[in-house]
Structure formats: structure tokens, C-alpha cells
Chains A and B, each alone.
Chain A
Amino acid sequence: MNALLAMFRYELRKSVTAGRVAWWFVLAMFPVLITVLSRWVQSKEGEIQLDERNSFWSILLYVAIPCVCCAMSALLTAGPAVATELEQRSWVYLATRPHGIAWLLLGKFLVATLWAFTAAAAAVSLSVLFINTPNPGSIWLGILRLAALAAPAYSATYLLLGAVFPRRSMVFCVMYTVGVEVLLGSFPAVVNRVTVQYRLRSLLTQWLPLSDEIRNSTAMQYTIGSSSAPLHLLCLAGITIGFILLAIALTRLRQFTTAAESDL
């Protein structure tokens, strides 16, 4: 456990760079900007009816925060986890430590989760200040809970992709996001259940104050699950833990030599 804590602290310290902090601000401010723009449009075009406001802001913040802010932040941090160490040729120092690669991946996962969740928490906390709904507290809590699930799930997903494709990991992560999470996740078929999106969207309908009209709409019926929240939580935990273990197992199987350029 001391090794994991050391790895987490070390990776966190390494990750605090001007570029990374700038990205954190961009991702945290993106939902706030969208919220402010929406309010501005509403002020020009006319306010949304009171009973639809909860649904509107819930869906908008859901898309902007767990789906974009968390996923993007996790992609930027967890995606290149293996590639960075190989490119810097620092891999061998960790690989020649007891369980060094497992601690490395776990440490990078924790750091990616922390960056993603803090950006999401800042985003939702600032965004709710601008929404015109009678109960912003329930939206804040609901989105925060979804972000707390999205951050580790996406971090684990991108960590696995980074372990499978250390060469051009970012390209594969983007392809996965668009192809699987966005397209397949919205596809009205059983196949969408393998995505993080499906579970988060199902929890959205249970945890956030959506109107019955939206909750019972045909589009939602096909793209959300009717299972209970604990089952969705269990599935997300399974995805997170399973993907981390798979990433560790894969890196243990693969042979990265000290001649790092041949590995990438």
C-alpha cells in the first residue's frame, strides 16, 4: 500500500504542469460557458417553461460534465499512461521494482480519476450558480454523483486502451470515444449496454429531476436500462475494476524492452 501511495503522490506531482493545469481549467470552464450561453440565449429567445427547466439543465449538464469534461480529462491523463513511460524510457526503472507496473497503472488511474473528478466538481459547482431552476441542489448532487462514477470508469477505460495500444494511444482513445461511447452507446440495441454511457444515462433518469415526458420518451426507452440503480452501480464498478485488472494483466504479458523505441 505504501508503494501505491508513493506512486500516486509521485504521479500527481509529475502531472501538475502548466499545460495540464491549463487543460483542467478549459475542461472545468467548458460546462460553465455552455450554461452561461444557454442562459443568454434564453434571455433573448424567451425562458423555458418552469416545469421543463429541471429536465433541460439536467440533460445539458449531464452531457457537458460527466460525458465531456470527465471523459476528456480521463482521456488526456489515462490514455498515454503506458506510452509516456515508454517514450521517456523510464519504464524499466518501474518494471524492475516488485509489482512496479501494477503500482504504476494504479497510480496513474488514481491521478486521472482525481483530475477528472475535480474538474467535474468545479464545473458543476460553478454551473449551478447560473441555472434558473427552483431546485439547483438536486441537480448539483445528481451530476456530482454521476461525475464521481464517470471519472473512474472512463479513467479505467482509457488506461486499458493505453495498455492495449501504447503506440498512438490517444488516437485509439478518441476513436473509441466517438465509435463506442458516442455512437454505439446511443444505438438502440442490446450492444449499447457494454458502454459506460448506457449506465450513466440510466442513472441520470433515476437520480435527476427529469420530467415524465422525457423519462418515458421513445428515445429514452431504447437507450436506457430499466434495471435498478444498484445494478447499474455494480456494472460500473465491474467495468472500472475489470478494465484496470485487464490493463495490468496485459502489461505483465507484454514485453517492453529497455530499447523503448522498438516498443513504440
Chain B
Amino acid sequence: MIERARHLSEFQIALRNFRKNRLAVVCVYVLSVLYGGALVAGFLSPYLFKNEDRNYSYAPPTPVKIFTEGQLTRPYVPAMELTFNEYNARVYKIDLVKKYPVRFLVKGDEYRLLGIFPCRYHLFGVEAPGRFYLLGADARGRDIFSRLLYGGQVSLSIGLIGVLISFMIGLLIGGISGYYGGRLDDILMRLCEMVMMVPGFYLLLALRAAVPDSFNSVQVYFAIIIILSFMGWAGLARIIRGMCLSLREREYVLAARGFGLSDFKIVVSHILPHTLSYSIFAVMLSIPGYILGESGLSLIGLGIQDPYASWGNMLSDAMSIVRIKFAPWILWPAFFIFLTVVCFNVIGDALRDCLDPMLKAEGEAQ
């Protein structure tokens, strides 16, 4: 019997090694759930992010009951009524007489599915006078679960788009700088150092100052992405430059030059692909920085503005720490920020481990 030899490409080998890391694979699934949830936030959430009811300020998570007097029934939520105790603190009384059955595919606030199709159906919810707060309510009586999903759209996408922009700039500037060397290299690297020399958060604040107050939420969102990418490219550019300095001396680059390829083409299609294995895990490990940057900015009120949700600005409620005591559920966004950051870190580390042999092999070939 002839045994067929299987040939695996370097990429396939890396993928196989990656799959061996159980934790990293779990993290990929967790991230998929988070991103998927954010993508169809309108459908999964019972309410729109700005649907508020001031009668339910800081309402606790609604209990879901499945028993009526010992009998198993369909799940329902009891009505909640706002009362005040002797210290004038809010107490929500549960009224078991009024029941609102939990329904699936209920009609509610209109939203746009995937940002395109107008739709009124929500995966679950309760009929109008009842309110269903899966994870509690915020100061204005908005559903935290819904806002987490909508906030994920902002917080999760900022990381991806930001990293994409800053890596394109970083790769290009690093590549050009390393390939040409000389005067151009000097100027570009001084520019890099200038950006890196300013403490990150100060630069963030100064850049934010340049965004006009007249911007609307969408414009602010893009402004924040641009600000974060402006801060992120320098570190990568320096490392890519170092790699290109040695790559440009290789024979195949000489050959490409001999064939009369344009410099730009050589950099983009012959030099930069060799820095790919480094870039892949560097991307993963730098996404948390963007997410935390946005959260930090929104936390102090300079990021995404109310009523739009982002994990950072939802957390700004918890800045007055006394609230944490009587409404601990306002800390949910922090948990999701943490979860996302952990996942990206684990995946980044796993990628580095399985791409490293390739990096080492490249180093030895020189």
C-alpha cells in the first residue's frame, strides 16, 4: 500500500498548531459570539438602546418565574413597582399578581437588522406595560442587556477598524522607511519617535480636543477611530522597518529590482508579506489597546455620547462609586471589556506560539 504523503503549507501547519491550544479555540468561539451578538444587536435585544422609562431607574434584573403556585407554567415576569422605603431609597416591589408572559419574536421598537433592513421583531420580550430587564436597568431605566449589545457594536468595531487603519499606515511607513533608508528613513523615524514620545493618554486628550463640538455621534465615532489609529501606527512602523532593513538585502529583492519592478511594488508584494507572521499576532495583541482607549475616553465623557451606547460610556455611570452598592449590575460593561481583552490576549499569544517557528526559521535563513 502506498502511503500518500500529505503536504501542508506553512499556514496550515500554523493552523494545526493553533487548534491544539484549547483555550485559544474557546476564545475564538467567545469572540465570535460577542461579535455575532453585536452584529444582530437589534434582533437579540428586547429594546432599542434609547428606549427609556424613568419609572424604572436602576431597576434590578427582572426575575423570570416559571412556577405559578407550584404549577409549572410558561415563563413570565412579574410587574415591578417603584416604592420608597423610610430612608427615601428606591425599592422595587415585585407584584406577582400582574404577570407578563415572556414571548418570543415579539413586536417592539423598530430597528434596522444588520443596519439595512427595517424590522420590528425582537427575539424575546414582554408585552408593553411590562418591562423585562434581563440584566437590570441604568439611570434612565434603559435595559442594560440591550445597551450592552448595542454598545458592543461600537466598542468591538472600533478595535477592528482602528487596528486595520493603523496597521496599514504602520506597514507602509515601516516598509518604505526600511527599504529606502537614508534621509527619508531618518525623517520618518523621527516622526515615529515623536508620536511615541508623548505619553499615550495625553496625546489622546490633545487629539480629542481637535474634534469640533458640532460633530454628531457618527462623526465622533469615526474621529475616535482615526485618533486611536494615529496613536497606534508608530510602534509597528519601527519594528517593520527593522525587519525590512534586513529583508531588502535578500537576493530575491535584488532579482525583483533587476526585473525592473517599481519600488512600491517590491515593498508591497515582496517585502511586506515576509513581515506577515509578525503582524498577525501583533494585530491581535494590539486590539485590546484600542478597545481600552475607547472605553477610557468614553468613561471620562469624551467618547461616544449618550444616548448612544458604548461599553465605556455605560460604565461612566459607575464613576460615582456609591451607585455600585445599590445597583451593582451597572458593572456589566466592565465584565465584557475584560472578557474581550482576555480573548484577544489569549488568541494573540497562541498565534505567536504557533507562528514563532516560522519566525525563527526566517531568522536562521539569513
**Bound pair (A, B):** no
